[in-house]
Chain A
């Protein structure tokens, strides 16, 4: 049912504003109101009605003005806006006197259901080894340092030692000149002076294109290193796919029971031999692929199914590319692997290791100055190199990497500081930042 109404009636009606009677009102151009019955007046409708009525009154006021009546003044005094708004200013908004109350809430991720496998490196005398302590990595239920779940283990750093003098960036080399020809002393130095959690002995002289050192001789170096330090160790080959299986077999044999990490099994060499050596002598295997998530799944699967390596003996190295030289790929590759693991892909639920030392391959880390004259001054390389290694490692730590193979003592120190800070184990004096703007620097 619809009633029609004239403007004169409207003012009457508004006088004793009976809101019920306004329900379903529409206004037509000829300033007749159509009112249809039923229900109460909702705020939106009242607003719309108010809008329409104001429009009408503006229209009427315009007519009034055309007839010579000072309508603006009437409006101004009626609504207390005696002054015209200042030109050039944004329309004034409703300023508030009190803050709106609000509680911040956010939920935890509910599909991180499968924990990352825990892997222990090194064995003490109780377990048939001779290490003084062991290192356990993995066990996460969330992305690193996230509040969704406690991170069970901190990150660990294993420092590189080589079985022969090698070319290094100058900033790195100055730290090792005294030990460069003595792997055992070198290993001692990184543990004693540089706070390495572990040592990696790289048997690169075994490469037929380098010194072609025999597997037997190389194994002696491994024995020396095991004698020299009591932390867990990683044993790396030369990367030569023909020679590595033999070298790592022999190294595994002489370190029987020490639960070392054999680096590496990869798809381009006889990974079965390496896996078997690890099983025969009680070690772990590093499963190394090159920036490819499916290759990583394939190799892990082969290690588990074909070579019967138990889950708690596998660590992955999905490859580290340096800052500015493919870190974008390495970061995302690791992040995807870790997320897939947490969400239940059991071919990827393994802790990860990064060859962070690769950062030293970046020109920015080792070159004296920029090869380009348009570039701004690169500053002293002594400072550039370590931070290149730190930022490369730090990015990967946020992507889920557990263990870092590194070279520069400063890099190790700073990377440990930041990863352990995010992990939550670093106490520091509290700092009041509420007035940081005025800080003297």
Chain B
């Protein structure tokens, strides 16, 4: 983004404060443009013809430093790139790293189909959503166009995930494109030898393409400039991912350099970057070591500027940390992830059911909620408004207090005396010190639950229903 204050953006807006964008004023809208929480097209008036010039100018000023590239179509399309900063606290990182797990065209059909399904279905619940894999990379180990086309076809029959087509042989890529052209796959890759043919394919089929120049940033930039000159900016850069030793250190340096140059305004190289932790398998024979090392390399380049990567290990001990580290790096540091404060019913609670209190920090809420619901405990669960802070930090920081708990319960129109038979509230173990205060504030009896919500089921067996009902 070439501007950094709302004032600079404001100058280009219609200035009528009409409110169509949902904001009270154009200035408020401008602030959202600068923090990238709204799109310029949300201002419908500026789309009118008479503002065309201003729209175009502002649109260009607002464009992220790193180009955004879209791969795939429909619901499974992914966007990569689009970043404006080198450190997440300076704004946030956009478009989380896309993980493509590989299959090869020499796999037998059954194995291939099973693997594709496994990748597609892999999921891990986390703060209200499932963490999942994004893409399938089809590798041509056979170097045979027909085999490749057949494999791509098989993959497409079994998943809607977006695709990377991997071969350095243009004939192979073409065969793959012929069957998958409607899916807007990412081509991998043009290199110093095949670039003319691959460029031809990328242009003719109008698909994004990866440029591969292992440890040669001059060549990488030449390729990018040449492709841009020929008319496509749907480019992804692969500076090579060397898996070990000094070569890996050099790879790290290359990633830092390319991204820094892009953010600093060198448009010729300001594209999303691809990492290929897959190469860890070229350095390790034993699958556990290879998986571990691949996960380590993937973590490094998820943190440092990889926008898309090709991976091999689908072991849960590789995928789980990968999915989590990217979530770590790509959550917006400006706001804690929260749920709406209020009362939630878990299962089908009745007047006999327990009443539990927790915070509206999404990590806390969903952890607790899933621990309860997966154990089939019917209850009322309050997400108290702690401004998105977890239990322990909220108790320490004063966002979780007896008053807040009282207010939270009352505001949802729930009357502990009338709506329950027990007039009892269960608070988190880590909020034990609030027990007396909550009793005083609500007039209910207060039980202190376990410190970890994972132990609620066992705790319930011993402590519920309360004795003096």
Contacts and interface: CB of A to CB of B under 8 A. Distances in A.
A395 B299 contact: yes
Contacts of A390: 292, 295-296
Interface in B191-220: 191-192, 195-196, 199-200, 203-206, 214, 217-220
Contacts of B293: 414
B230 A94 contact: yes
A90 B204 CA distance: 6
B454 interface: yes
B122 A100 contact: no
A147 B281 contact: no
Nearest to B104: A441
Interface in B170-196: 188, 191-192, 195-196
Nearest to B244: A428
Contacts of B421: none
Interface residues of A, number: 75
- Size bracket of the B interface: 35 or more
A100 B246 CA distance: 30
B249 to A, nearest CB: 5
Contacts of A387: 292, 295, 317-318, 321
A421 interface: yes
B266 interface: yes
Interface stretch (A57-65, A198-206, A214-222, A329-337): A329-337
A435 B123 CA distance: 32
B121 A376 contact: yes
A326 B315 CA distance: 24
Nearest to A329: B333
Interface in A128-176: 145-147
A379 B167 CA distance: 32
Interface stretch (B8-16, B36-44, B257-265): B257-265
Interface string A98-134: 0111111111000000000000000000000000000
A395 B257 CA distance: 19
Given A96-B226, A324-B126, A428-B245, A395 B282 contact: no
B269 interface: yes
A106 B257 contact: yes
Nearest to A147: B253
Interface stretch (A240-248, A343-351, A366-374): A366-374
A374 B199 contact: no
Nearest to B291: A383
Interface string B6-31: 00000000000000000000000000
A99 B222 contact: yes
Contacts of B147: none
Contacts of B88: 332, 335
Given A147-B257, A332-B89, A431-B244, A93 B299 contact: no
B246 A424 contact: yes
Given A92-B203, A436-B279, A441-B312, A384 B125 contact: no
B288 interface: yes
A339 B216 CA distance: 29
A210 interface: no
Contacts of A69: none
A198 B256 CA distance: 31
Given A145-B249, A371-B374, A323 B218 contact: no
A216 B134 CA distance: 58
B52 to A, nearest CB: 19
Interface string B290-327: 10110110011001100000001001111011001101
Contact of A377 (B276, B316, B327): B316
A99 B226 contact: yes
B333 A372 contact: no
B248 A422 contact: yes
A438 B104 CA distance: 9
B316 A378 contact: yes
A331 B330 CA distance: 12
A398 B281 CA distance: 23
Contact of A372 (B89, B221, B318, B370): B370
Interface stretch (B67-75, B135-143, B433-441): B135-143
Contact of A90 (B206, B299, B304): B206
B295 A331 contact: no
A147 B328 contact: no
Contacts of B394: none
Interface string B364-388: 0000001100100000000000000
Contacts of B279: 431, 433, 436, 439
B286 interface: no
Contact of A379 (B140, B204, B261, B317): B317
Given A106-B261, A373-B374, A379-B316, A324 B203 contact: no
B243 interface: yes
Overall SS of chain A's interface: loop
Contact of B230 (A93, A324, A336, A372): A93
A360 to B, nearest CB: 14
Nearest to B239: A104
B91 to A, nearest CB: 12
Contacts of A378: 316, 320
Contact of B221 (A93, A104, A107, A370): A104
Of B206, B222, B256, B317, the most chain A CB neighbours within 10 A belong to B317
A430 interface: yes
Nearest to B206: A90
B229 interface: yes
A323 B229 contact: no
A323 B327 CA distance: 10
Contact of B260 (A106, A326, A431, A438): A106
A101 B222 contact: yes
A364 interface: yes
Contacts of B333: 328, 332
A433 B167 contact: no
A424 B249 CA distance: 6
A103 B218 CA distance: 5
A375 B125 contact: yes
A437 B104 CA distance: 9
A364 to B, nearest CB: 6
A257 B337 CA distance: 48
A374 B196 CA distance: 47
Interface string A381-423: 0011001101100110010000000000000001000100111
Contact of B320 (A107, A364, A371): A364
Given A375-B123, A383-B315, A433-B240, A421 B225 contact: no
A434 interface: yes
A89 interface: yes
Q: A-B pairs with the 4 shortest C-beta distances?
A: A428-B245, A379-B316, A93-B231, A104-B217
Interface of B: 87-89, 121-126, 130, 139-141, 143, 166-168, 188, 191-192, 195-196, 199-200, 203-206, 214, 217-226, 229-232, 240-249, 252-253, 256-258, 260-261, 264, 266, 268-269, 276, 278-279, 281-283, 288, 290, 292-293, 295-296, 299-300, 303-304, 312, 315-318, 320-321, 324-325, 327-329, 331, 333, 363, 370-371, 374, 390, 454
Given A102-B224, A379-B315, 19 more contacts: A94-B231, A101-B222, A102-B218, A323-B321, A323-B324, A323-B328, A328-B328, A367-B454, A372-B370, A375-B124, A378-B320, A384-B320, A391-B299, A428-B245, A430-B247, A433-B282, A439-B141, A439-B279, A440-B141
30 contacts: A90-B203, A94-B230, A95-B200, A96-B226, A104-B261, A105-B266, A106-B261, A106-B266, A145-B252, A324-B328, A332-B333, A363-B454, A380-B317, A383-B288, A387-B292, A395-B303, A421-B248, A426-B245, A426-B246, A428-B247, A431-B243, A431-B283, A433-B214, A433-B241, A433-B276, A437-B141, A437-B166, A438-B140, A438-B141, A439-B281
